[in-house]
Each structure stands twice: as structure tokens, then as C-alpha cells.
Amino acid sequence: MSDSLLAKKYVDGIYIPAGLIVLGTAILKREFLHYAVLVAIALGAIKFIRTQPKKVLKPDAFQEFELKEKTIISHNVAIYRFALPNPSDILGLPIGQHISIGAHLPQPDGTTKEIVRSYTPVSGDHQPGYFDLLIKSYPTGNISKHMAGLAVGQTIRVKGPKGAFVYTPNMVRHFGMIAGGTGITPMLQVIRAIVRGRKAGDTTQVDLIFANVTKEDILLKEDLDALTKEDKGIRVHYVLDKPPADWQGGVGYVTGDMITKWLPKPAEDVKLLLCGPPPMVSGLKKTAEALGFKKARPVSKLEDQIFAF
């Protein structure tokens, strides 16, 4: 994240104070003017350095971050906003990567065990001072259930970045994406980066199939619809297993016919991104291979045509 040197925070926090020091000295003690200029430059430089974004993530060490805000989306889904140490801090998470959340949780046998799970924030480094996590809590979940019980002011342990995928502008001509449930989070992260990068020349096209059980289960639908309205290079195709009577989208599980109809054909400048429940991802890998995509590895690499988060 880079700010113009004429940004308001620099004008108000550096240029005006420095100018007042020099102007005041010129009026009251003109013989000290050159010292005043040096002091103003030194103080301005210190202030400038302190206002630059600092990446806080550490890949090999857990750090604690405080829950600042909790926004309930539904009975089992919420967006959790965690504060970074300083307002100008950023996570330092490359687009497409995720973080690990760890917690020592009680087990049925009475012992305590450290459980670690991966999550992709729905915020980005262009939003300093905090990060947002969209989490669906399951009755049998470990970290997700732990998160649901967090109160504002409590902390979680985080480390990262993790993951083999890093998005760079125009890395492919066209992304096909298939997400199930909370698997939408890495897809949304990449899509938002593409839309932000349009002015700088990012021409990447995106077709996303987003599968859910019911209409009420569709997470971040307003955000996705706003992005498709704003950017004609982004298209979202919704699929429901249990649709309402007036449903106009896809019905059932994601099939080869849906992939053929809505997603780009296999090509060297096309990549297929998958994220969702493991059985869904496993089945989609086989379906995509049958349609001509290169065979997916058990653990995806950045260069793979089929990449599973």
C-alpha cells in the first residue's frame, strides 16, 4: 500500500508542523534558521518513517491479536475484526495466501491439545490497522467453535503467511473458480485484487461458480454482486442444492456440464481455482481432468493448472 506524498496525513502531520518550525524561527531568531531547517527535516523524516505500513505477520511464531468487533451474519456465521498493534500496521499477507490460527483446546479425554486451522482474511493490506475473518461455526468444529465463543477484547494466536498460491496481476488470461461455502474467501481476495488492479492494467477475466445448500447460505452475496456490477470482467454463477421455487441459477452439485457452460476452456493461460469441503474439491479435480484440464497434484503448486486452496 503506497500513499501519495501529498496525502493529507503527510500535509497535516509533517509539512505543516515543519513549516511552522521554520517560519517561527525565521520571525523570532533568524540567525538560527539553518538549525531550524535541519530540525524540521529530522523530525519530518522520523514522523514519515513511523507512518509507513509495518508488516506484522511472522511465519514461524504465533502472535496474539485482539478481537475488536464481531458482526453476526447468520446464526452460525460472523465476521471477526482483529486489531493490529498500530493503526498504520498491515498483516503483510500476499494475495492468495492464508494465516494459521492456533488454540489450546480441551479434549474429550480431559487433556489439552493445540489445534491449528487455516483461514483467509476477507480484508487486505490496503486496509491498515485490522484484519477481518469470515468464519462459519460448526457444532463439531474446533477453532470455528472456539471463535464463536470469543468476546470482544479477547485474543487469538496467529502466524503466517502460509500457502503455495500468490496472485500477481495478469498471471493468467482467465481464472475459472469453484467455491463451496466458506471456500469463497480466497476467491474473493483474488477477485478484489484484480478489480483494484484494473487502473494499473490488470485485464484478468474471472468466472466463479459458487455452490451452497440454500439461498440463505450464500456468504457475501452483496459483495459479490456489487463486484460483478462494477466490473464486467467478473462473473458469478450461483448453484444451490436446495433452491427456492423461483430460483434462476444452477441446481444440485457442480457438474461437468456447469463447468463447460460457465468456466473457461482448458488452455495454457487459464487456471482453475478450487476451495471448499474436501469431498467436493476431490470430486471436482476428477471432473476437471475429464474435461481436459491437466491432472491435479495431491498438494497444489503455484504452476498447476488446477490449484486447490
Residues designated catalytic: 98, 119-120, 275
Report phi then psi at 38, rounded to 5: -65, -45
Bridge-partner residues for 80, per DSSP? 70, 133
Q: Residue 298: is the preceding peptide bond cis (ω within 30°)?
A: no
Using the Cα atoms of residue 164, residue 170, residue 172 and residue 178 in order, give the sign of their dihedral: positive
The helix (H) or strand (E) run that includes residue 259 is helix 256-262
Give Rg (Cα) of the chain. Answer: 24
Q: Cβ-count burial of 205 within 10 angstroms (0-12 exposed, 13-18 middle, 19+ buried)? A: middle
d(CA 132, CA 150): 14
d(CA 213, CA 240): 5
